[in-house]
Amino acid sequence: MLMTGSPSLYEKRKGVYPKAVDGFYRRLKWAVMAVTLAIYWGTPWLRWDRGPYAPDQAVLVDLANRRFYMFSIEIWPHEFYYVAGLLIMAGVGLFLVTSAVGRAWCGYACPQTVWTDLYQHVERFIDGDRNAQVRLANTPWSAAKIARRLAKWAVWLVIAFLTGGAWIFYFADAPTLQQQFWTGTAAPGAYGAVAVLTATTFILGGFMREQVCIYMCPWPRIQTAMLDEKSLVVTYKHWRGEKRGSLKKAQAAPDIYGDCIDCNQCVAVCPTGVDIREGPQIGCITCALCVDACDAVMAQIGKPRGLIDYCTEDDALAEQKGGAPRPVLSTLLRPRTLAYFALWICVGAAMLFALGVRTRLDISVQQDRNPIFVRLSDGTIRNAYTIKLRNMEARPRPMQVGVTGLADAKMWTDAGSREQAGSALTTMVAADSVEKLRVFLLLPSAGPVRQDFAFTVRATDREGGGDSEPARFERP
Amino acid sequence: MAEDKRIDAATGTEIKLHEWDGIQELDTPLPRWWLWTFYATILFAIGYMVAYPAWPMIDRATAGLLGWSSRGALDKELAAREQQIAPIRQAIAETSVTVLPQRPQLMQAAIEGGRAAFRVHCVQCHGSGAAGSKGYPNLNDDDWLWGGDIAAIEKTIADGVRNPDHQATRQSLMPAFGKDQLLTAAQVDDVVAHVRAISGQHRANAASRRGAKVFADNCAVCHGPAGAGDRTVGAPNLADAIWLYGGDADSIRDTVWNSRRGVMPRWDDKLDKVTVRMLAAYVHSLGGGETKPETRAEPGG
Task: Give the pLDDT score at A277.
Answer: 93
pLDDT digits (tens, 9 = 90+) for B114-172: 999 999 999 999 999 999 999 999 999 999 999 999 999 999 999 999 988 888 999 88
Q: Are residues B253 and B287 in the same domain?
A: no
Coil, strand, or helix at residue A378? coil
Cα angle value A286/A291/A294 (rounded, 5°):
145
CA gap B152, B234 in Å, rounded = 12
Residue A453's CB is within 10 A of a number of other CB atoms, namely 18
Contacts of B30 in chain A (CB under 8 A): 9-11
Q: Is the dihedral of CA A107, A109, A110, A115 positive or negative?
A: positive
Q: Are residues B252 and B185 in the same domain?
A: yes
* A458 φ/ψ sector (left φ>0, alpha ψ -120 to 50, else beta): beta
Nearest CA in chain A to B145: A377
Output DSSP code: residue A57.
B
- Does B143 map to a domain? yes
Instruction: Examine residue A243 and say whether the peptide bond preceding it is cis (omega within 30 degrees of 0).
Output: yes
- Does B284 map to a domain? yes
- Does B254 map to a domain? yes
- Does B92 map to a domain? no
For helices A219-226 and A81-101, give the axis angle rounded to 10 degrees: 60
CB A401 within 8 A of CB A363: yes
Q: Are residues B237 and B208 in the same domain?
A: yes
Would an 8 Å CB–CB cutoff place B246 in contact with chain A? no
Nearest CA in chain A to B285: A414
Measured in whole angstroms, the distance separating CA B31 from the mean position of its chain's CA atoms is: 60
Beta pairing, strands A381-391 & A433-443: antiparallel
Contact call for A417 and B288, based on CB within 8 A? no
pLDDT along chain A (476 residues), means of 10: 53 87 95 97 94 91 91 88 92 90 91 96 95 94 94 97 95 94 94 97 94 90 85 91 88 88 94 92 92 95 92 89 80 89 96 89 92 92 94 89 91 85 91 91 87 91 81 90
> What is the CATH classification number for the domain harbouring B117?
1.10.760.10
Residues 6+ apart with CB under 8 A from A242: A258, A260
Q: Are residues B255 and B192 in the same domain?
A: yes
CA gap B156, B158 in Å, rounded = 6
Contacts of A373 in chain B (CB under 8 A): none
Average pLDDT for B277-281: 96
Nearest to A374 among B13, B104, B287 (CB): B287
Would an 8 Å CB–CB cutoff place A359 in contact with chain B? no
Q: Are residues B139 and B127 in the same domain?
A: yes
| Whether the predicted pLDDT of B2 surpasses 60 | no
CA gap B77, A439 in Å, rounded = 35
CA gap B110, B103 in Å, rounded = 10
Q: How far apart are the two ends of chain B, measured CA to CA in Å?
A: 108
Residue B278 marked ligand-binding: no
Mean of per-residue pLDDT scores for chain B? 90
- Does B94 map to a domain? no
Domain boundaries, position B147: 101-173+263-292
Nearest-neighbour CA in chain B from A417: distance (Å): 9
Q: Which of A204, A217, A282, A375 to mutate to test the interface with B (most CBs of B within 10 A)?
A: A375
Q: What 3 state SS string does B226-259 have?
A: CCCCECCCCECCCCCCCCCCCCCHHHHHHHHHHC
Coil, strand, or helix at residue B133? strand
Task: Give the pLDDT score at A141.
Answer: 94
Output DSSP code: residue A12.
P
Helix H or strand E segment including A124? helix A111-127
Average pLDDT for B232-251: 93
Chain A, window 85-114: residues with a beta carbon less than 8 angstroms from a chain B beta carbon: none
CA gap A392, A397 in Å, rounded = 10
Q: How far is CA A179 from CA A40, A116, A166, A172, B251, in A?
A: 20, 30, 13, 12, 75
- Does B76 map to a domain? no
CA gap A137, A43 in Å, rounded = 38
| Predicted confidence band of residue B3 (pLDDT cuts 50, 70, 90) | low
CA gap B275, B85 in Å, rounded = 13
Concatenating the DSSP letter of every residue in B65-114 gives TT---HHHHHHHHHHHHHHHHHHHHHHHHHS-TTTGGGSHHHHHHHHHHH
Q: Is the dihedral of CA B95, B100, B106, B108 positive or negative?
A: positive
Task: Give the pLDDT score at A8.
Answer: 65
Contact call for A377 and B143, based on CB within 8 A? yes
Would an 8 Å CB–CB cutoff place A382 in contact with chain B? yes
Q: Are residues B160 and B225 in the same domain?
A: no
Would an 8 Å CB–CB cutoff place B221 in contact with chain A? no
Contact call for B32 and A384, based on CB within 8 A? no
Residue B125 marked ligand-binding: yes
Nearest CA in chain B to A14: B31
Contacts of A1 in chain B (CB under 8 A): 4-7
Q: Are residues B165 and B276 in the same domain?
A: yes
Q: Are residues B127 and B161 in the same domain?
A: yes
Nearest-neighbour CA in chain A from B140: distance (Å): 7
**Inter-chain CB pairs, A–B, below 8 Å:** 87
Q: Are residues B145 and B215 in the same domain?
A: no
Q: Is the dihedral of CA A164, A167, A171, A176 positive or negative?
A: positive
- Does B269 map to a domain? yes
- Does B300 map to a domain? no
Q: How many domains does chain B have?
A: 2
Contact call for A418 and B127, based on CB within 8 A? no
Contact call for B242 and A375, based on CB within 8 A? yes
CA gap A239, A467 in Å, rounded = 68
Q: Are residues B109 and B187 in the same domain?
A: no
CA gap A144, A142 in Å, rounded = 5
Contact call for B287 and A384, based on CB within 8 A? yes
CB A220 within 8 A of CB A104: no
Q: Are residues B217 and B156 in the same domain?
A: no
pTM of the model: 0.72
Task: Give the pLDDT score at A2.
Answer: 43
Query: Environment class of residue A37 by beta-carbon count within 10 Å: exposed (0-12), middle (13-18) or buried (19+)?
Result: middle
Q: Are residues B129 and B277 in the same domain?
A: yes
Nearest-neighbour CA in chain B from A255: distance (Å): 28
**Single-letter residue type at A469:** E
CA gap A414, B3 in Å, rounded = 85
pLDDT digits (tens, 9 = 90+) for B169-215: 998 889 999 999 999 999 999 999 999 999 989 899 999 999 999 99
Average pLDDT for B3-22: 82
Between A108 and B298, name the one with better pLDDT. A108
Task: Give the pLDDT score at B13.
Answer: 84
Of the ranges B53-67, B143-157, B249-263, which one carries the lowest mean pLDDT score?
B53-67
